[in-house]
Amino acid sequence: MITEIKYNSNKYTIDLSKPLDISIPLRDGKNNVNAWYLEPPKIFPVVSDDWIGSVKEGADVNFNTIHFNPHSHCTHTETAGHITKKVHSIHQNLQQFFFLAEVVTIPPEKINDDFVITKKQLQYALGNKKRDAIVIRTLPNLSDKKTMQYSHTNPTYLMEEGAVFLREKGVNHLLIDLPSVDKEKDEGKLLSHNAFWNTSDKVRLGATITEFIYVPNTIKDGTYFLNLMVAPIENDASPSKPVLYKIND
């Protein structure tokens, strides 16, 4: 289905029948992606007296309870409420869902014992482009990102200078294929979160960070439309399903 979109006074056409899903789904068990030292998520049927919420066990319906943490177990989108005293809800603050986005692939640089994404790399990747959203794919880009157990592994992260650059460039939605934009163990400083959301001044409540995405290698770097969908949950973060659409020439 070819659809014309008017966005910031420009017109674009996209094919809604060809979505490019860059989310990691939540699944039961140890093969689910994981971070932040939590047990794997659990999806299990409700048990009430002698009734089990499973058709296989004789029930009329499958009636499962899901136990998980969005920050640890799936693609999720968060607002500044993740790090502020007041827990600002993603449901209340994300009110627009289509954005012009740039997909960039970045090979992290090694500084001391860490692999990082620098301001210089982001400047090179974006150039003079003005985008509402950036989708960062790090290298190497293997499918094991969808099942990686990140706790105590010191994953790649975004340097504070890079987060400042993105904020000053007007990027409001940052998507990355890592468990966090910050260093795993940073004494609670959360430098890139704070810099991107501008918590030392006027907090950018409409800006979001989406972590734990996976961008397949078949998706080329370039400009896309991003549909950023979140579950309607009153919380600092929600499971999300970012979907890209190629812009037709």
Segment 84-96, tens digit of pLDDT: 999 999 999 999 9
Distance CA 151, CA 222 (A): 32
pLDDT digits (tens, 9 = 90+) for 68-127: 999 999 999 999 999 999 999 999 999 999 999 999 999 999 999 999 999 999 999 999
- Which value, to the nearest 10 degrees, does the dihedral of the CA atoms of residues 22, 26, 30, 35 take? 70
Contact 213, 25 (CB under 8 A): no
Q: Helix (H, G, I), strand (E, B), or coil: what is residue 19?
A: coil
- The reported pLDDT for the residue numbered 15 is 93
pLDDT of residue 1: 84
At a CB cut-off of 8 Å and minimum separation 6, what does 12 contact?
Answer: 4, 5, 225, 247, 248
CATH number of the domain to which 91 belongs: 3.50.30.50
In the numeric block, which tokens belong to residue 207?
């800006």
Q: Is the pLDDT of residue 249 over 80?
A: no
Check residue 4 and give its pLDDT: 87
**What predicted TM-score, i.e. pTM, was given to this entire model?**
0.96
Count the domains in the chain.
2
Residues 63 and 83 both lie in one domain = no
Residue 184: pLDDT band (50, 70, 90) is very high
Statement to judge: residues 134 and 188 lie in one domain: yes
Q: Domain check: are 15 and 32 in the same one?
A: no
Which residues, at least 6 apart from 163, have a Cβ–Cβ distance to it below 8 Å? 174, 181, 191, 192, 193, 195, 196
Rama region for 170: left / alpha / beta (φ>0; ψ in -120 to 50; rest): left
